[in-house]
Amino acid sequence: MPPKIVEVIENGVCAACGACEATCPLNAVYIESEADVPEDETRPPSASRRDPNNLTYYVHGAACEVCEDCLTCSRVCPVVDGFPEDEFDNVRSFRGGKSELEGQDGAVVSAILKSLFEQGEIDCAVGIKRDENWGIEPFILTKASDVDLSKGTKYSSAPVLAQLKDAMKKYEKIAVVGVPCQAHGAALMRENMTDRIVLVIGILCMESFTSEALCDNIIPNIMGLDIKQVVKMDFGGGKFWAYTKNGDNGEEPVGNSIAIKEIAALARNPCHHCLDYTAYYADISVGSVGAPDGWNSVIVRNDTGEKYLNKVKGIEYMDDPKPGMFLIKKLADQKHKNNAPKEGGAH
């Protein structure tokens, strides 16, 4: 009998987090990253590259034929594990935070990673970097200067956790940065099969897109922008924002926006089923919602998060930031309402 993740994949709700690939002892699971696909590839895209409206893009491999029913993949799959009933019942503290580093909003995630690298508290982190065309690639960070390569939110998804397969062979103090499904998968890996993941940082996330949907459709076709001119993307005020270069002399980027409702249907299919907005299973959750412009909201969720955040240098904190937790809960409720299974349906 095939493992439960086969049902997850065939029902189009695989989050493509990469946890199953990282942990399968037989290498029976592979999630194809766009960065690994040659330009002359003729096979249809699979897993993370699947068109959310066309499940035939999933390519069946030999996984079930070589599987030995160890069920490791099912123990680390965030979709199989399910969603929290109350994603705020483990909040230890909530503050605003910002650093002097360049990055998204307050650049708190960059500050955490850099400081922990510099102090030797971590020897590896997994994250995502992008090129000038916003093409994304998961990679392994091994020093503080690597953090500059991963700064900023990309809003397209890649199998970040697959990088842990190699990382766990070489490094002993690994940090993971990811959206809720990735943070969940990393937490399950730490709980079930490794003690080398020492810190999980989750990013608040309403939804994400495939690179094809974002870079080849939303930006050029729907918003009419040149992807090479885009320097930052963000969600705010019910809109998706793409900021473009404004001259060559360091002028403030130009904000271009579109209502989220106009592009929400283009999000990845698993995002339409997700009921975790704040990365419940992370040690520390970070986002921009709930904090003033230029700041991040910082949520500590457990002893591990508190321990490592207390070690970090270079972050300025704000108690009781506004608009505050009220807005975070409002958006979480909205995500739950939109994505909750309909009566009589399964999730």
Give per-residue pLDDT as tens, 243-293. 999 876 667 889 999 999 999 999 998 999 999 999 999 999 999 999 999
DSSP state of 141: E
Give kind and range of the element (H or E) at residue 230: strand 230-236
pLDDT on residue 46: 43
pLDDT-based confidence at 328, cuts 50/70/90?
very high
pLDDT digits (tens, 9 = 90+) for 218-246: 999 999 999 999 999 988 888 999 999 98
**pLDDT the model gives residue 113:** 97
Q: What is the per-residue pLDDT for 34?
A: 46
Among 65, 55, 96, 39, which residue's Cα sits nearest to residue 321? 96
Domain ranges within the chain, ordered by starting residue: 4-81, 93-209+268-339, 211-266
- 44 near 59, Cβ under 8 Å? yes
What pTM does this model have?
0.88
CATH (residue range 211-266):
3.10.450
Mean pLDDT of 86-111: 94
Band of pLDDT at residue 26, cut at 50, 70 and 90? confident
Per-residue pLDDT of 129-138, as tens digits, reads 988 889 888 9
If we measure between CA atoms, which residue out of 22, 233, 214 comes closest to residue 126?
A: 22
Amino acid (one-letter) located at 230: V
- Average pLDDT for the chain: 87
Residue 5: band (very low, low, confident or very high) from pLDDT cuts 50, 70, 90: confident
Give the three-class secondary structure for 209: strand
